[in-house]
Structure formats: C-alpha cells, structure tokens
Amino acid sequence: MAMSPLPDSLIEPDGSAVVRVLSYNVRSMRDDREALVRVIRACAPDLVLIQEAPRFFRWRKRAAWLAARTGLVVLSGGATAAGPLLLCSLRATVERTEDILLPLTPGLHRRGFATAVVRIGRARVGLLSCHLSLEAGERYAQARMLLDRVEAMDVPHVIAAGDLNDPPEGRSFRLLAGELQDCWTAKPWGDEYTSTPDRPRQRIDAIFATGGVEVLGCGVPRGLPGVTETDLRTATDHLPVLATLRLPAPLL
C-alpha cells in the first residue's frame, strides 16, 4: 500500500533546509547488498547515519562502494568509529568530522560515535551516529556520553540516530528522549517497529533531534515507492528509519 508522501528535500528562500535523514543498521553489509542499495536509493536521503558498517578487511573499499552505488559520499566513521558511519549527498558542505571511540568494557564490543558538522543551505547541523551496548549499564553510560557529545558539538542543531538496543520504555531511550526530540513520537509516519524485518515487534532504532528542528515525519518506510518487502527482509537484520526535518537558518 502506498504511503503518504514525505516532503522533498529543498532549500527554502530564507536559507533553511528541508532534509531527509536515514538511520540504518546494515549488519556489516553481510546480507543482500543490492537490496540494501535499492532501499537507500528509494529513501532519497541527504544524510545517512549507519550502524554496523564494515570494520575489518577492506572496510574503506566497502564503505566507498555503498556510497557510490547510492549516489552519496563517505563523510566519516567506519572502523575508526567502531562501526557507526556517516554518508551524505552533495547538497551538504562539510565543516568538520570526528570519530570517537568510547571506553572499552572488558569482554564487550568496542563502541563509538561517528560525528560531523555540515551545512545545507544556510543551516548548520551536527550529526552523530551511534550503536549502543547490549549491556544495560554500559548502554546507559553511553547514552549520557551521547548527550555530552551533542552539547560539545557547539552548533545550533544536532541530529543523533542509531541502534539503541533499547525500546522507548528503556532507561537509556528515556534518557535520550528526555533531552532530545524523539522524531517518531513528534511526527509519526510510516511504521514504528524496526526489529526484526520479517516480524517487527520492537522499536530499538531511532532518530533524535535537538529543539528548534521541525519534524515533518519519521518512521519505517514500508510501502514507500521503490521499497519492497523483499528488499527490506533481505538487505539486513534491521528496518531503516527515515525522517524529514526542517533545519532553521540562523538569524541574520
């Protein structure tokens, strides 16, 4: 069934920008890569915040392949951020990037943030892609670090997104939603649940934005033209989250 359309990307006369933001756990591109490409292209994103990007053998080549096939460019992240990766369209002008490794808990996976600051039109926005821990205590500490990093980026607006490994009622999710806009809650669009693709029953992937960003719609793009059920099931083990956001231009 066709979905109600999201607004297209555009630069408004005052310099503010309407952008499409995609968050997607791609499971190291170990599944159907062509299906993954089709899903991303159909979403027509300006900014892509990826989790579980390739981290080992020839990871840069694989990230570049995904960017090229989807009409995007690699912004930051990958192995140097322990998995989170940022891609963007040519509409974005890059100001700076930084890959951040989080403290390592013995016996658990290394985690990190891929971050950047970009300009689209006259709007400046910080980006942060994350994949939080499976362990509850470490996950909560990482959520606090995420909020600290958002504050430290020192830009008017920030978009943070990723695989939280926590549902909306969870402690870490609630911490983030208490300080940032949970874009699905602000303006639901599409479907809610992101895991698993064949039997979605939980929302553990989300897009957040700081106050002042206007959420025009956010959700799982099931039924979006060009996004098929087969591709969603075979591309990876999570469903993507797509949001359209209006980023205000700074006052003159």
Residues of the chain above pLDDT 70, percent: 98
Alpha helices in the chain (DSSP H): 33-43, 59-69, 136-152, 171-179, 183-186, 229-235
Q: What is the pLDDT of residue 1?
A: 42
- CA-CA distance, 40 to 72, in Å (whole number)? 10
Burial class (CB in 10 A: 0-12, 13-18, 19+), 50: buried
pLDDT at 252 over 70: no
Provide the pLDDT for residue 6.
Answer: 87
Name which of 47, 31, 35 is nearest 241 in CA terms: 47
Mean pLDDT for the stretch of residues 134-150: 98
Q: How many CA atoms lie within 13 A of 23 on its CB side?
A: 29
Instruction: Note the pLDDT of residue 3.
Output: 64
Give yes or no for residue 56 having a pLDDT over 60. Answer: yes
- pLDDT band per the 50, 70, 90 thresholds, residue 33: very high
Q: Indicate whether this model's pTM tops 0.95.
A: yes
Question: What confidence tier does 4 reach under pLDDT thresholds 50, 70, 90?
Answer: confident
State the Cα–Cα distance between residues 107 and 240, nearest whole angstrom: 29
CA distance 188 to 186: 6
Over range 105-110, report the average pLDDT.
93
Express each pLDDT in 38-54 by its tens digit. Answer: 999 999 999 999 999 99
CB 50 within 8 A of CB 79: no
Q: What is the mean pLDDT of residues 134-162?
A: 97
CATH number of this structure's domain 14-247:
3.60.10.10
Q: Is 243 helix (H, G, I), strand (E, B) or coil?
A: strand
Q: What is the mean pLDDT of the chain?
A: 96
pLDDT of 2 higher than 80: no
76 has a pLDDT exceeding 60: yes
Write out the two tokens for 99: 């890959």
**Once rounded to an integer, what is the mean pLDDT over residues 201-225?**
97
Binned at pLDDT 50, 70 and 90, residue 251 comes out as confident
| Domain residue spans of the chain | 14-247
* Confidence grade of residue 5 (pLDDT, cut at 50, 70, 90): confident
Inform me whether the pLDDT recorded for 8 exceeds 90.
no
